[in-house]
Structure 1
Amino acid sequence: MNQKSTWIEFKNECITDKLFDICIWVLIAAAVCITLYPFIYVVSISLSSGEAVNKGLITLLPVDVNLDTYRMVMSYKDLWISYGNTFYYTVMGTFLNIVFTCLAAYPLSRKRFFLRKKMNFLLAFTMYFSGGLIPSYLVVTGLGLYNSRLAMILPVLVSAYNVMICRSAFEGISEELFENAYLEGANDLQVLVKIAIPLIKPTLAVLTLYYAVARYNDFFSALLYIGKQNLQPLQLFLRRILLMASAEIMQSSGNATAASAAAQSTIQIRYVCIVLSMVPIVCLTPFIQKYLVKGTMLGAVKG
C-alpha cells in the first residue's frame, strides 16, 4: 500500500508540474503576442498601400504592399540630417559615458581611496535629490552650450546608477590581481586599462547598451537646449512629424511624387517614420543581448 500511495503521489506531482508548465507557456505566449502585435501592426501599416490604410483594411499583415511612402519619406533630407545628428550624439556620447563611468567607478571601488565612503554617499545622494530643471538650464546656457552639440553630451555625461553597477563589477575582481600588478610597477591607470576593464567587459557591454538606448531616445535635452533645426536629433524630427506637421513631408515632395503623396494617409507617413527610427536599435540589440544577463549579474550589488 505504501508503494502504491507513493506512486500515486509521484504521478499527481508530475501532472501538477505539467499543468503548471502549460500555464506558464500559455502566459508567455500571450505576453509575446500582446507585445509583438503593435510592432507588427505598425510595420504592416507602413508597408501597405495608402488606399488600404485609408479604408482600414489592415488588421495584422500588410495589404497591397506598396513602398511609395517609404520612398517619399526617405527622399526628405531633414530625416537624414536628424539621423546623422543622432548617430553623432549616440556614438560620441556613449563613448564618453563609458570612459567617465569607468573613471568614476574605479576609485570608488578601491578600499584604499580615502574619500571612498564620502564620495559613494554623495553619488547615492544625487539619485534622490537634484538641482532641478531650471538650475540645470541656467548652468547649460551660462556655459554657452545652448545650440551646440555639447549640450546633448555634457549634461548627461555620467549616470549615478550605472556608476554604481560598474563600481560593483570592479569590486568583484580579486584584490590579489591588483596587488601583483602594483608589485610589478604598474600605476593606477595601467591597472584600470589593462586589468580591470578587460575583466568587466560583459558589464561594460550592458552599460554601453543602456547608454546607447538612452542617447538614441533622448529628445528632452534637445527640446531644451537645441533650437537650430540642423542640430536636432531624430527624436525631435519624429516628434515634429507625429504631433505637429506630418504633412510637411508631402509638401516637400517633388513634382513626380506630389500626386501620390496627396493620396497617402497621414498616419501611414507617421508609421513609416517610426519604423525607420527603430531600425538601428533593432539591428544593434541582438549583438549585445548575450551579455545582458551575465553583465547584469556581474554588476549586481552584493548583499
Structure 2
Amino acid sequence: MADKKLKLFKVSADEVTLSFIAYVVSGLFALICVLPFIYVLVYSIIPYSEYLKNPFNLIPKNITFEAYKMAMDYKYLWTGYKNTIFIAIVGTICSLILLVLTAYPLAKRDLKGQKFIMTLWIITMFFSGGMIPNYLLIRSLGLLNNLWSVILPGLLGAYNLILMINYIRGLPTSIEEAALIEGANDIQVLFRIILPLCLPIIATLGLFTVVGYWNSYFDAIIYLTKREMWPLQLVLREIVFESAANEMELQGVEQRIIQPFTLKMASIIIATLPIMCVYPFLQKYFMAGLVLGGVKE
C-alpha cells in the first residue's frame, strides 16, 4: 500500500514538474512575441529625446500623444482605413461563401472528375501566372484603380480549400444520410446540417483571410495608382518612407526630429490594433471540437 502511494506521489510530482516546465517555456515564448509590440507602444508615446537617452527603457517618464495626433491628421489615413475595412470585410465574406460552395461538392469522393479538379487546384499552389499576365488580366477587366482588383486575385486559395475539404470529410456521414432520408436535398443539407458543424473551421479560415486582406499591400502597389484608393498598409508604407526621409533631412535638429520616429511607431499601433481586437471574439471557435452535436457511428 505504501509503495502504491509512493508511486502515485512520484507520478504527481512528475506531472507538476512537466506542467511547470511547459508554463515557463510557453511564458517565455509569449513574452518574446509580445515584447516587440510593447516596445513599439512605448516608443509611440515618449518624446524622441527620451528614446535617444535610453532606447531600451520600457517605463516612460514623459508621455505625449503628439505622434498619434499627427498620424490621425495625415491626409489619407482615414481613406486608407475605409478602403482596408471594405477590402477585408467584403473579401472575407466572398471568400468564405465561395470556399463553402466549392469545398462541399469536392469533399464527395464519388464526384466525377473530383481528382482532376483537385489536381488543378493543387497546381496553383506551386505555379502562378506571373505578375505581368495578372496585371494584363486586371487591366483587361477594367479593374485598375478599383478595390476589387485587390479582392479578386486572392479570393479562393488552394490551401484554405484543402483544409475545408478535409474538415467536411471528417464529419460523420450518418448526419448527412439521416437528413437525406428525411427528404432534405443537397442545398438543405449544406446550409442546415454541414454549415453549422463547420463553424470552427469557418471562423479559423475567416480569421486567416481577414488578416491576409488587412496586411496586403503588394497588389495595391500594382493595381491602385490613385492615393484615395490606397489601403491602410500602403498609406502606412508612405508614412514610414516620408518620416525616414525627414529624419535624414533634419538630423541634428532634435526638436524637429521628435515627430518622424514616433510617427512611425504610432502608425504601426494604429494599423495593427483593430485587427488584434478580432482574435478574442474568435478564440472560442479554435477550441471547439471537430463535430458539434454529431452522432456516433
TM-score interval for Structure 1 and Structure 2 normalised by the shorter chain: 0.7 to 0.9
2:107 to 94, 97, 109: 109
Structure 2: tracts of 5 or more residues without a match: 248-253, 293-297
Aligned length: 286
Distance 1:200 1:279 in 2: 28
Distance 1:159 1:13 in 2: 47
**Match in the other structure for 1:71:** 69
Structure 1 residue 132 and structure 2 residue 126: aligned?
no
SS in 2 for 1:137: helix
Over 3 Å counting, the alpha-carbon distance change for 1:146 and 1:261 in structure 2 is farther
**What does 1:29-44 align with in structure 2 at a 5 Å threshold?**
29-44=27-42
1:292 to 261, 286, 290: 286
SS in 2 for 1:277: helix
**Match in the other structure for 2:209:** 211
Quick check: which one's helix share is greater? 1
Contact kept, 8 Å, 2:246 with 2:260, in 1: the verdict is no
**Match in the other structure for 1:168:** 166
Structure 1 residue 245 and structure 2 residue 242: aligned?
yes
1:89 to 82, 87, 90: 87
Distance 2:235 2:8 in 1: 62
Contact kept, 8 Å, 1:44 with 1:58, in 2: the verdict is no
Contact kept, 8 Å, 2:200 with 2:285, in 1: the verdict is yes
Output one character per residue of 1:29-53: Cα deviation in whole Å (capped at 9) or x when no partner.
3222222211111101111234323
Comparing 166-175 and 198-207, the one that deviates more = 166-175
1:279 to 273, 279, 284: 273
**Match in the other structure for 1:155:** 153
Contact kept, 8 Å, 2:88 with 2:213, in 1: the verdict is yes
Over 3 Å counting, the alpha-carbon distance change for 1:261 and 1:153 in structure 2 is farther
CA drift of 1:87 comes to 0.3
CA drift of 1:77 comes to 3.0
**Match in the other structure for 2:250:** none
**What does 1:178-197 align with in structure 2 at a 5 Å threshold?**
178-197=176-195
Over 3 Å counting, the alpha-carbon distance change for 1:215 and 1:57 in structure 2 is closer
**Match in the other structure for 2:117:** 119
Over 3 Å counting, the alpha-carbon distance change for 1:57 and 1:88 in structure 2 is same
Contact kept, 8 Å, 1:105 with 1:166, in 2: the verdict is yes
SS in 2 for 1:77: coil
> Over the residues paired in the alignment, what is the CA RMSD in angstroms?
2.8
CA drift of 1:109 comes to 1.0
Structure 1 residue 60 and structure 2 residue 54: aligned?
no
Distance 2:121 2:289 in 1: 22
**Match in the other structure for 2:295:** none
**Match in the other structure for 1:256:** none
Contact kept, 8 Å, 1:109 with 1:168, in 2: the verdict is yes
SS in 2 for 1:246: helix
Distance 2:182 2:26 in 1: 53
